[in-house]
Amino acid sequence: MMEMNKNIENTKVKYFIIIGLVIVLLIVCLFFIFKKKTPINKNVDKNTLDIKYEKGKEIELSNLKRGTVYTNNIVVSNKSDKDLKYEINWVDVSNTFVGQNKLLYKLDTHDPFAAYIGDSQIPISDFNLKEEVDIFKGDTHTYNFSIKFDGDEKKEKNSKFKGILEFKQIESDK
């Protein structure tokens, strides 16, 4: 009789362990199911600019031939529900060109509210191109950025230009 009671107790313990494991597995499965269905977007701010560079924002030029033109299309979109502002900067600039007035950049656009910059001398250090550019909610500014080399390729054989053309959202007063 005692042995039968022990068997019954062992069976009960086994059932409790099995039921406990099933409950734990069920909770774990439910957790993963709900976690998968609920997207976690911690870093999403709907009041930010969408900035796209066709060739990236880093620019590296060397061994240029006279007449060489580097181009990069940039699109700045404001898909938020309020007007925003951005600035345009040259950052991390390194320039060893001797005839710097022969290496010119241009930021062209057909948008009357965007920042137009005509032929300008490439910088030798970090530089702010435009401090505040307004972009209204729902608007898009499209830029054609170019750098043209019109110098002496023999004289500039070992010259290099490196920099980042940065479009950066800034705090809006509104």
pLDDT, one tens digit per residue, over 49-70 is 999 999 999 999 999 999 999 9
Using a 10 angstrom Cβ sphere, with 0-12 exposed, 13-18 middle and 19 or more buried, the burial of residue 31 is: exposed
The residue behind tokens 């597995």 is 25
- Give pLDDT, residue 92: 96
At residue 47, does pLDDT exceed 50? yes
Among residues 91, 81, 97, the alpha carbon closest in space to that of 149 is found at 97
Q: Where does the pLDDT of residue 12 fall: very low under 50, low under 70, confident under 90, or very high at 90 and above?
A: confident
Average the pLDDT over each of 35-44, 79-88, 161-170 and give the range with the smallest value: 35-44
For 138-150, what is the mean pLDDT? 94
- Show the tokens assigned to 30: 């439910």
At residue 4, does pLDDT exceed 70? no
What is the percentage of the chain residues whose pLDDT exceeds 70? 83
- Give pLDDT, residue 11: 76
**CATH class assigned to 49-170:** mainly beta
- Give pLDDT, residue 38: 46
Residues 6+ apart with CB under 8 A from 75: 50, 51, 52, 140, 141, 142, 143
| Cα 106 from Cα 146, distance rounded (Å) | 5
Q: Which contacts of 116-119 are long-range, i.e. CB under 8 A and separated by 24 or more positions?
A: 119/148
Determine how many CB atoms are found less than 10 A away from the CB of residue 28: 10
Task: Sketch the domain layout of the chain as residue ranges.
Answer: 1-40, 49-170
- Give pLDDT, residue 54: 95
Instruction: Label residues 33-44 b or e (16+ Cβ within 10 Å = b).
Output: eeeeeeeeeeee
Q: Give the amino acid at 133.
A: V
